[in-house]
Chains A and B, each alone.
Chain A
Amino acid sequence: MKLTLKVWRQNGPRSAGHFETHEMPEVSPDMSFLEMIDVLNERLIDESKEPIAFDHDCREGICGSCSMMINGIPHGPERGTATCQLHMRKFTDGDHITVEPWRARSFPIIKDLAVDRSALDRIVEAGGYITAPTGSARDANEILVPKEAADAAMDAAACIGCGACVAACPNGAAQLFTAAKYNHLSLLPQGQPERFARATAMVDEMERWFGSCTNYGECETACPKEISIDFIALLNRDYVRAQFKNRKLSGQKA
């Protein structure tokens, strides 16, 4: 098929950016979206023009590196799919496709379509863990975890940390990411001792870097792992409870 690509080019975080238009005369429907960019990059190199910078790695939808706004939608038109798993057969001959980087103040542009998402790491560092130094664990089966709890924790833990939720949010909030990371741990028995400290630490750190959530719900639609917005409700509830919780007594009632 024949496509027209409008791609965002920007040399660095402080330079001005612009759109560049490229005709793609022979796109195979079996190509992935990133393979199409590969082909374009090969052509640019042939023409002695610098290739388009973009983040990608596993190309299996699990590492969370890829990060493109395709026609204004994070990861493009197919629901529950990261850019690397999006294939060109989802487009039609003659389509014009706009490709932009994640646009959020907390994700400064490094170059072209590559952005710096390290603010997400800061949220995890602030409290997105269970304190369990190596060697201190007891036998794994001594902790019983109801299957339903393990499954729900796994639903949250499926987050790949790509940042699509931030890119989709009109406020640039990272609430869905934070909620996924938070609930993965706090739904499990192992996560109870630090639960309310974790809620405060993660949310406060998030607010330092990102906008605030006002329940638009765009994040859930954009999430390539289809993580439920319900996790945001659970996080918000715990965040409020954490403000009243006497942590010295929190072991007595969960």
Chain B
Amino acid sequence: MSNIALDSKIPAGPIEDKWNNHKFSVKLVNPANRRKFRVVVVGSGLAGASAAATLGELGYHVQLLSFHDSPRRAHSIAAQGGINAAKNYRNDGDSVKRLFYDTIKGGDFRAREANVHRLAEVSVNIIDQCVAQGVPFAREYGGLLDNRSFGGAQVSRTFYARGQTGQQLLLGAYQALARQVHLGNVELHHRTEMLDLVVQDGVARGLVARDLITGEIRSFSGHAVVLATGGYGNVFYLSTNAKASNVTAAWRAHKQGALMANPCYTQIHPTCIPASDEFQSKLTLMSESLRNDGRIWVPKEFDDQRPIDQIPEEERDYYLERLYPSFGNLAPRDIASRAAKRAVDSGRGVGPLKNGVYLDFSEAIGRLGAPVIEERYGNLFQMYERITGEDPYKQPMRIYPAVHYTMGGLWVDYNLMSNVPGLYVLGEANFSDHGANRLGASALMQGLADGYFVLPATISDYLAPQLGQAPIPTDDPLFQAAEAAVRDRTNQLLSIKGTHSVDWFHRELGKIMWDNCGMERSAESLDKALSEIPALREQFWSDVRVLGDGGSFNQSLEKAGRVADFLEFGEELVLDARRREESCGGHFRVEYQTEEGEAERNDDEYAFVGAWEWNGEGNEPTLHREPLVYENVHFATRSYK
């Protein structure tokens, strides 16, 4: 137990002025002195690549670590829909204030006001920056930028590049980064995975990483460490995340003293392709826009074996239209997801494994004709057919919800610095901007806001007083001890020589998490998970089979380290869900719902950020509370009736 005081460092003054005033108040580093500072950045997605490129442009010496073979492979690349910005190019009443309000409300009043307002402010600069870099956003015929609308907003503020917005934004950041690599301001270490954070007297001094090709364990020392290592959705095993996405960097930092905030806030996306068999390795998202024209239904009969065309109209249950007549098939993500789960759990699921619901376009095709549907969704239909072998023009799609984004993450203050001085956390890896639920097209916005505009403006405040101090050399006993610990752990994983593969353990953990801490959670299910996870973890450390050695390219070993961390992290996630005795956003506790089945928040007792402190293995972590104060937006119940 320690006496950690959570100081969010939110600047004083009216919300519109906080960021500007803060930028004026931070200490600066003179351009000639910047090259004397070394910053280690981990992760090359939108947040990491944009931060590394911008810090390099400013003149800092940056070392960038990516466990991928190229920075461009980071999972930001898979984002489809778009990026929000309060440009108001549509003249439809958008403003910084409205984007701020929509984000706070969408987050179910569990985000920090000042951070969200800043995010909305810099959103406009992000679009300018990306266009200047050559991101090929969709255009109108007159040459101006096009916009589309997205869930949770009544304005069109989403900029997009076909269905590949994440890819194009990441390429923009990657190209800016490549330029800095070429100029020598950024040192790029690809296929290098951070395995521990090095902390001295409570201050982050660097980290230990493994070269994934040679197996070499080496240290990186700097004046500051920046983690931009993404989310932890893969704790559920099956998710829409990329296979390598993991919690290791954040978890290692947590075990070195950084607080983990709101891990129970996980987002489930309602329209993914259901698993086809037990070998399913990941789930694929189908854009939510399909719900504009598709009707969702399941047969009324339990375990209905008839082919689709023999189920008459009156024996189909269009359950969203029935339960939520005004929003119908466009009910919000969490509601639509839970309704699908209830339909499947009741034994009315469809498909060979009875694990999906229909998303039926026959009515829309009849009304609009196949060519219109093809124009709207052609690429998605093609992708669906490629994966399932079924033609959605002829038979309904099968969909089911899947884990997709995680709002929780390492706790950071207004400067994006964790409670460990010198450790900054950006993008999905931090907790700060989305509260309990993220709006569509806001993840890309946050990653780039943090990397291009926030961190580069705040980091000088921490660095400036260190002028003249060299980073601790990596042959210092501090780093040598950390390297030895990492080597020991690697050797331990290799020496167990048990009977089950790493993937087996990961799947087992995923089942526990999804069944007990997925779309719906109860005290009972969470207690069950809390008893099952430690047992599985114990089994892992006595029975995992990791072949090969530590001195070469060994993907099983990489996975083993990540799954070992998920086995610890998962327990903390469940504990957080257990302690948050309310429902909000992505966290739905069955005990706390209205008569209509809506999430019921408890603002009197739970309007706080729950930040957990690690107390060592076998000890329960300590919960620290940062109260959420709303000065500009008033608590309200999200309504979609």
Contact, CB under 8 Å: A57 / B144: no
- Across the interface, B282 reaches (CB within 8 A) one of A55, A59, A161, namely A59
Task: Report yes or no: A38 in contact with B87, Cβ–Cβ below 8 A.
Answer: no
Contact at B89–A35, with CB atoms within 8 Å? no
Pair B176/A132 contact, Cβ less than 8 Å: yes
B168 interfacial contact with A, CB 8 Å: yes
Interface pair B162/A154, CB less than 8 Å apart: yes
Q: Determine the distance from Cα of A143 to Cα of B145 in the docked complex, in whole angstroms.
A: 9
Q: Is the CB of A117 within 8 A of B89?
A: no
Q: In the complex, A154 Cα to B164 Cα: how many Å?
A: 10
A60 to B133, CA, bound (A): 26
- A184 in contact with B134 (CB, 8 Å): yes
Identify the stretch in A119-127, A208-216, A233-241, A245-253 within 8 Å (CB) of chain B at 4 or more residues: A119-127
Distance of A188 Cα from B143 Cα, bound (Å): 11
Q: How many residues of B contact A (CB 8 A)?
A: 79
Among listed A69-77, A91-99, A144-152, A166-174, interface-contacting one: A144-152
The residues of A that contact B132 with a CB separation of less than 8 Å are 130, 132, 136-138, 140, 143, 190
Take A51-B547, A140-B128, A141-B89 as given contacts and tell me if A129 and B178 are in contact as well, using a CB distance cutoff of 8 Å. Answer: yes
Of the listed stretches B368-376, B386-394, B401-409, B586-594, name the one at the interface; the rest are far from the partner chain.
B386-394
Asked whether, in the complex, the Cβ of A157 is within 8 Å of the Cβ of B178, the reply is no
B139 touches A38 (CB 8 A): no
Known contacts A38-B503, A59-B242, A87-B387: A65-B68 contact under CB 8 Å: yes
Given A144-B142, A190-B132: A50 and B277 interface contact (C-beta under 8 Å)? no
B51 → A minimal CB distance (Å): 10
- Let me know if B536 is at the binding interface, CB within 8 A: no
In the bound complex, do residue A147 and residue B143 qualify as a contact, i.e. CB atoms below 8 Å apart? yes
Partner of B545, one of A35, A45, A56: A45
Residue B138 CB within 8 A of the other chain: yes
Query: Given A62-B167, A131-B179, is A188 in contact with B134 using a C-beta cutoff of 8 Å?
Result: yes
Interface presence of B75 (CB below 8 A) = yes
Is B141 within 8 A of A129, CB to CB?
Answer: no
CA–CA, A117 to B213, complex, Å?
13
Whether a CB of chain B sits under 8 angstroms from the CB of A12 is yes
Asked if B24 is at the interface (CB within 8 A of a chain A CB), the reply is: no
Known contacts A45-B545, A120-B70; decide if A132 and B133 are in contact (CB<8 Å).
Answer: yes
Chain A residue numbers with a CB within 8 Å of B73 are 57-58, 63-65
Q: How far is the CA of A131 from the CA of B177 in the complex (A)?
A: 11
A153 CB contacts on chain B under 8 angstroms = 134, 136
Q: Cβ of A129 and Cβ of B133 under 8 Å apart?
A: yes
Q: Are A117's CB and B70's CB within 8 A?
A: yes
Do residues B548 and A63 form an inter-chain contact, with CB atoms below 8 A? Answer: no
Cα A126 to Cα B386 with chains together (Å)? 37
Known contacts A58-B75, A157-B136: A134-B53 contact under CB 8 Å: yes
Binary contact readout B48-60 vs A (1 if CB under 8 angstroms, 0 otherwise) = 0010011001000
Which of B551-559, B608-616, B628-636 participates in binding chain A? Answer: B551-559
B129 to chain A, nearest CB (A): 5
Closest to A123 in B: B178
For the complex, is A110 an interface residue (Cβ under 8 Å from B)? yes
Chain A neighbourhood of B168, CB < 8 A: 154, 157
List B residues 171-217 near A (Cβ within 8 Å): 171, 174-176, 178-179, 181-182, 188, 190, 213
Which residues from 226 to 282 on chain B have a C-beta closer than 8 Å to any C-beta of chain A? Answer: 242-244, 276-277, 279-282
B606 at the interface (CB under 8 A from A): no
Q: Which of A39, A121, A188 contacts B70 (CB 8 A)?
A: A121
Expressed in whole angstroms, the Cα–Cα distance for A62 and B77 within the complex equals 7
B458 touches A (CB below 8 Å)? no
Most chain A CB within 10 A, of B53, B243, B547, is at B243
A-side contacts of B69, CB under 8 Å:
55, 65, 116-118
Closest to A158 in B: B164
The listed residue with most B CB atoms (<10 A of its CB), out of A12, A146, A151, A157, is: A157
**Complex Cα spacing A121 to B68, Å:** 12
Smallest CB gap from A133: residue in B: B57
Determine if B68 and A29 form an interchain contact, defined as CB atoms under 8 angstroms apart. no
Cβ of B456 < 8 Å from any Cβ of A? yes
Instruction: Given A29-B389, A134-B453, verify A129-B139 contact (CB < 8 Å).
Output: no
Indicate if the CB atoms of A31 and B139 lie closer than 8 Å.
no
For residue B105, CB closer than 8 A to chain A, the reply is no
B33 CB to nearest A CB, Å:
19
Interface residue SS majority, chain A: loop
Q: Is the CB of B281 within 8 A of A35?
A: yes
Residues of chain A with a CB closer than 8 A to B389's CB: 29-30, 87, 89
List B contacts of A191 (CB < 8 A): 134
With A55-B69, A60-B284, A141-B145 given, is the CB distance from A110 to B131 under 8 Å?
A: no
| Chain B min CB distance to A79 (Å) | 11
Give bound CA distance, A53 to B182, whole Å: 31
B538 beta carbon closer than 8 Å to chain A:
no
Name the contact of A51 in the complex, choosing from B142, B144, B383, B556 (C-beta under 8 A).
B556
Contact A53 B143 (CB under 8 A): no
The listed residue with most B CB atoms (<10 A of its CB), out of A32, A135, A140, A185, is A140
Could you tell me which residues of chain A, from 100 to 126, have a CB within 8 Å of some CB in chain B? Answer: 110-111, 114, 116-118, 120-121, 124-126
Pair A62/B78 contact, Cβ less than 8 Å: yes
Bits for A199-234, please: 1 = Cβ < 8 Å to B, else 0: 000000000000000000000000000000000000
Q: Is the pair A50, B548 in contact by a Cβ cutoff of 8 Å? A: yes
- Which residues in window 118-134 of B have CB below 8 A to A? 125, 127-134
Determine the chain B residues whose CB is within 8 A of the CB of A63 once the complex forms: 73, 75, 77-78, 242
The smallest beta-carbon distance between B117 and chain A, in angstroms, is 20
**Given A117-B70, A130-B175, A154 contacting B136 (CB threshold 8 A):** yes
Partner of A157, one of B75, B171, B501, B553: B171
Given A57-B68, A64-B73, A129-B176, verify A144-B143 contact (CB < 8 Å): yes
Identity of the chain A residue whose Cβ is nearest the Cβ of B282 in the assembled complex: A59
Q: How far is the CB of A83 from chain B (nearest CB, A)?
A: 13
- Nearest residue in A to B212 (C-beta to C-beta)? A110
CB of B161 within 8 Å of the partner chain: yes
Mask: chain B, 77-106; 1 = CB below 8 Å from A; 0 = not: 110000000010100000000000000000
Q: Which residue of B lies closest to A38 (CB)?
A: B281
**Contact in complex: B72, A161 (CB < 8 Å):** yes
- Candidate in A11, A38, A147 with the most chain B CB atoms within 10 angstroms: A147
Check if B243 sits within 8 Å of A59, measured CB to CB.
yes
Taking the nearest CB of chain A, how far is it from the CB of B233, in angstroms?
13
Report B190 CB to chain A, min CB distance, Å: 6
Known contacts A63-B73, A65-B68, A121-B178, A150 near B243 by CB under 8 Å: no
A31 vs B389: C-alpha distance when bound (angstroms): 11
Q: Which residues of A contact B134 (CB under 8 A)?
A: 130, 132, 153, 184-185, 188, 190-191
**Most chain B CB atoms below 10 A, which of A31, A42, A114, A133:** A133
A21 part of interface (Cβ distance < 8 Å) = no
5 A–B pairs (Cβ distance < 8 Å), ordered by A = A45-B547, A57-B68, A87-B386, A118-B69, A130-B134
Additional 18 contacts, C-beta under 8 A, given A65-B73, A121-B70, A158-B162 = A28-B279, A39-B279, A55-B69, A57-B68, A57-B75, A59-B242, A63-B75, A63-B78, A64-B72, A134-B129, A137-B131, A138-B132, A140-B130, A144-B142, A154-B168, A184-B136, A190-B134, A191-B134
Top-7 shortest CB links A-B? A144-B143, A137-B132, A129-B175, A132-B132, A137-B128, A30-B276, A140-B131
B-side residues, CB < 8 A to A, are: 50, 53-54, 57, 68-73, 75, 77-78, 87, 89, 125, 127-134, 136-145, 161-162, 164, 167-168, 171, 174-176, 178-179, 181-182, 188, 190, 213, 242-244, 276-277, 279-282, 284-285, 383, 386-389, 452-453, 456, 501, 503-504, 545, 547-548, 552-553, 555-556
